[in-house]
């Protein structure tokens, strides 16, 4: 195994699950390890405390008159449940079939590490980087970056940059370099439906009091029409429609035809808003998804119970034009309006983030395209992304800089799921891509 891969494995062995308080010490240990890596590269490095998990900032010595790129990443990861579905333990990385298996491989340790290794190689070979570089690696992306916005505001001058580079997105197919120029936004809600004061015998009381599970199911069902369109009043009002050139361009993106998405997802047929391809629905249309639903008996066999409560969690993916707070309110109003009789409801508003969009043909976008072409040997495709990295729009607003999204996660990388994996080829080519990117950006 190369020493570069061995070092990525060290990174992957930290169970840095930001949402789980049992892992606070692991998240910190990972941050300290990262700090050590940057120090060994010879960069000035700071570990910043926040009310949550630490932020790592590392930079080369600033040279006046040179451009500055900020390279963003996150060292926190998602929980590993359901653990029994992993083929190898999530925090014991290994290589099989040209892939690195382990939590955080693609999202995001393996992707930001290529930029660290690229800078390190250039520093070793050239003695310096061709422009000012600031690494900003946070530990709370997977929980909505609650402490990064205040951090950015506090350190605005220190973090001033011309452009941001992020590898935390997808690559449409192996060997097809991919430049992302959009991300969906997000807004989350948690809903608790309550009925009787305690669980009841479903024979003794069933039929004379409302069942919260039934009520919750009706509320969830009310969110969509049968054809997949969202039924919440005003939901689509502010959506900026797709441009003709994007629709045209996306028909030629390999690996993103409806059949490809069906193959990757294992779903029997397409679903969603009428009038759009699957790629268009993913990259440019808003959604409401149920992320969790619970009530009643979940164990083996049957239990005749009328549960006292039911809960569901949902997230809306948003597109340019939509205001997360407004959509969150529209969804809350819709749920209250569609509350069945006989139950009460509590609705908790969760985290939100705006969608992001840039011009892939700007001088920076073209520099990124050249770097991808050189390192992967073919021209990149230009896509928007279905996922969200809300801090990217925040950085646009606070630092005034756009983000180049150079995705290295393949469609079957299984991020947030069991058997997350990262292509060894993308790891190796990613290091070259990062070096080319610094070169290209320094010419602007």
Q: Which residues bind ligand BES (CB under 6 A)?
A: 107-108, 141-142, 144, 168-170, 186, 353, 385, 387-390, 409
Q: Which stretch binds Zn ion (CB under 5 A): 101-109, 229-237, 343-351, 358-366?
A: 101-109
Q: Which is nearer to Zn ion, 347 or 417 (CB)?
A: 417
Tell me how far, at minimum, the Cβ of 62 lies from ligand BES, in Å.
29
Q: Which stretch binds Zn ion (CB under 5 A): 106-114, 121-129, 174-182, 266-274?
A: 106-114
Q: Which does 403 bind (CB under 5 to 8 A by kind): ligand BES, Zn ion, none?
A: none
Backbone phi, then psi, for 50, in 5-degree steps?
-135, 175
Q: Which is nearer to Zn ion, 107 or 402 (CB)?
A: 107
CA 138 to CA 159: how far, in whole Å?
Answer: 14
The DSSP bridge partners found for residue 313 are: 190, 292
Q: From residue 376, give the alpha-carbon distance in Å to each of 176, 207, 385.
A: 7, 64, 20
Q: Which does 169 bind (CB under 5 to 8 A by kind): Zn ion, ligand BES, none?
A: ligand BES
Q: From residue 36, give the alpha-carbon distance in Å to each of 1, 179, 199, 304.
A: 22, 31, 53, 57
Helix H or strand E encompassing 45? strand 44-48
Q: Which does 41 bind (CB under 5 to 8 A by kind): ligand BES, Zn ion, none?
A: none
Evaluated on CA atoms 248, 250, 253, 256, the torsion sign reads negative
The DSSP call for residue 182 is E
Tell me how far, at minimum, the Cβ of 144 lies from Zn ion, in Å.
11
Tell me how far, at minimum, the Cβ of 409 lies from ligand BES, in Å.
6
Q: Which does 144 bind (CB under 5 to 8 A by kind): Zn ion, ligand BES, none?
A: ligand BES
Tell me how far, at minimum, the Cβ of 31 lies from ligand BES, in Å.
17
Q: Which is nearer to ligand BES, 213 or 405 (CB)?
A: 405
Q: Is 107 in the site for Zn ion (CB under 5 A)?
A: yes
Tell me how far, at minimum, the Cβ of 193 lies from ligand BES, in Å.
24
Q: How far is CA 115 from the centre of its chain?
A: 18
CA 341 to CA 88: how far, in whole Å?
Answer: 48
3-state secondary structure of 429: helix
Q: Is 168 in the site for Zn ion (CB under 5 A)?
A: no
Tell me how far, at minimum, the Cβ of 78 lies from Zn ion, in Å.
6
CA 119 to CA 286: how far, in whole Å?
Answer: 37
Q: Which is nearer to ligand BES, 46 or 190 (CB)?
A: 190
What residues contact 295, with CB distance under 8 A and at least 6 apart? 212, 213, 216, 307, 309, 310, 311
Q: Which is nearer to ligand BES, 103 or 429 (CB)?
A: 103
Q: Which does 436 bind (CB under 5 to 8 A by kind): Zn ion, ligand BES, none?
A: none
Q: Which is nearer to Zn ion, 107 or 246 (CB)?
A: 107
How many CA atoms within 13 Å lie on the side-chain side of 129? 30
Is the previous residue joined to 37 through a cis bond, with omega within 30 degrees of 0? no
Q: Is 402 in the site for Zn ion (CB under 5 A)?
A: no
Q: Which is nearer to ligand BES, 18 or 68 (CB)?
A: 18
Tell me how far, at minimum, the Cβ of 226 lies from ligand BES, in Å.
27
DSSP 336-366: HHTPPTT-EEEEEEEEEE--EE--TTSHHHH
Tell me how far, at minimum, the Cβ of 402 lies from ligand BES, in Å.
16
Q: Which is nearer to Zn ion, 193 or 409 (CB)?
A: 409
Q: Which does 15 bind (CB under 5 to 8 A by kind): Zn ion, ligand BES, none?
A: none
Q: Which is nearer to ligand BES, 343 or 413 (CB)?
A: 413
Q: From residue 166, give the alpha-carbon distance in Å to each of 87, 115, 298, 389, 437.
A: 29, 9, 41, 10, 11
Tell me how far, at minimum, the Cβ of 183 lies from Zn ion, in Å.
12
Q: Retrieve residue 418's tokens.
A: 């069991």
Q: Which is nearer to Zn ion, 78 or 295 (CB)?
A: 78
Q: Retrieve residue 295's tokens.
A: 């009530």
Tell me how far, at minimum, the Cβ of 384 lies from ligand BES, in Å.
9
Q: Which residues bind Zn ion (CB under 5 A)?
A: 107
């Amino acid at each position: 195994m190369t020493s570069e891969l061995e070092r990525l494995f060290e990174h992957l062995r930290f169970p840095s699950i930001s949402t789980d308080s049992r892992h606070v010490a692991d998240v910190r240990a990972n941050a300290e390890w990262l700090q050590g890596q940057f120090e060994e590269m010879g960069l000035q490095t700071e570990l910043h405390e926040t009310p949550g998990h630490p932020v790592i900032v590392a930079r080369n010595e600033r040279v006046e008159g040179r451009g500055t790129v900020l390279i963003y990443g996150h060292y926190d990861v998602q929980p590993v449940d359901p653990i029994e579905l992993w083929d190898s333990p999530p925090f014991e990385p290994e290589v099989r079939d040209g892939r690195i298996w382990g939590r955080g491989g693609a999202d995001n340790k393996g992707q930001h590490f290529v930029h660290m290794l690229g800078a390190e190689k250039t520093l070793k070979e050239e003695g310096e980087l061709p422009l000012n570089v600031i690494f900003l690696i946070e530990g709370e992306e997977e929980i909505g970056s609650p402490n990064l916005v205040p951090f950015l505001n506090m350190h605005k001058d220190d973090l001033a940059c011309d452009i941001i580079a992020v590898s935390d997105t997808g690559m449409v197919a192996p060997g097809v370099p991919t430049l992302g120029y959009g991300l969906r936004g997000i807004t989350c809600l948690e809903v608790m439906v309550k009925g009787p004061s305690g669980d009841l015998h479903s024979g003794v009381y069933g039929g004379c009091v409302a069942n919260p599970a039934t009520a919750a199911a009706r509320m969830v069902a009310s969110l969509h029409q049968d054809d997949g369109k969202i039924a919440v009043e005003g939901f689509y009002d502010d959506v900026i429609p797709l441009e003709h050139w994007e629709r045209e361009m996306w028909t030629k993106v390999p690996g993103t035809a409806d059949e490809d998405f069906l193959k990757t997802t294992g779903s029997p047929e397409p679903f969603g808003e009428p009038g759009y391809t699957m790629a268009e629905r993913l990259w440019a249309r808003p959604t409401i998804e149920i992320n969790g639903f619970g009530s009643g008996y979940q164990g083996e066999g049957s239990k005749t119970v009328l549960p006292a409560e039911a809960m569901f969690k949902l997230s809306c993916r948003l597109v340019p034009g939509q205001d997360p707070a407004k959509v969150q309110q529209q969804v809350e109003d819709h749920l209250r309006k569609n509350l069945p009789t006989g139950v009460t409801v509590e609705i908790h508003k969760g985290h939100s983030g705006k969608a992001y969009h840039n011009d892939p043909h700007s001088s920076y976008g073209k520099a990124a395209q050249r770097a991808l072409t050189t390192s992967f040997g073919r021209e990149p495709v230009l896509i928007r992304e279905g996922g969200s990295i809300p801090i990217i729009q925040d950085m646009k607003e606070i630092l005034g800089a756009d983000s180049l999204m150079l995705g290295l996660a393949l469609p079957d990388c299984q991020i947030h799921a069991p058997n997350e994996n990262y292509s060894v080829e993308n790891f190796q080519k990613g290091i070259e891509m990062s070096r080319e990117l610094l070169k290209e950006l320094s010419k602007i």
